[in-house]
Amino acid sequence: MADLQGRKVFKVFNQDFIVDERYNVTKELGQGAYGIVCAATNNHTGEGVAIKKVTNVFSKKILAKRALREIKLLQHFRGHRNITCLYDMDIPRPDNFNETYLYEGRWTN
């Protein structure tokens, strides 16, 4: 496994969830064909976020297109009070690009 400096590993639905060390996973929220979602808290700000782990995103062209579409939609609707805001994206292991994490939360501006 690659160097995970600056990250923590949590078990979410019996799968490794590799997140930035600023976050603590607090609750499992859901899982489906597209990925797994958990709730987490930012240790520095106390703010709650949802972290979505999208797996096998680059294994098929259609999966990569879906991921890109979701990112573009979240970008387009940024600031809408009823839609989560995409804060950050992360690919924690440079040796494995099939795990992408999307950090989402409420727009606070």
Residue 53: pLDDT above 80? yes
The third-level CATH classification (topology) of the domain covering 7-105 is Phosphorylase Kinase; domain 1 (3.30.200)
Domain ranges (residues) in the chain: 7-105
Checking if the pLDDT of 7 tops 50, the result is yes
Say which residue, 88 or 30, is predicted with more confidence: 30
53 is in an annotated binding site: yes
Q: Which pLDDT band holds residue 86 (cuts at 50, 70, 90)?
A: confident
1: pLDDT confidence band, cut at 50, 70 and 90?
Answer: very low
Calpha distance 52→29 (Å, rounded): 10
A 10 A CB-CB count for 20 gives: 17
Beta-strand ranges (E) seen in 1-73 are 7-12, 15-20, 23-31, 35-42, 48-55
User: Residues 35, 55: contact at Cβ < 8 Å?
Assistant: yes
Residue 109 has pLDDT above 70, yes or no: no
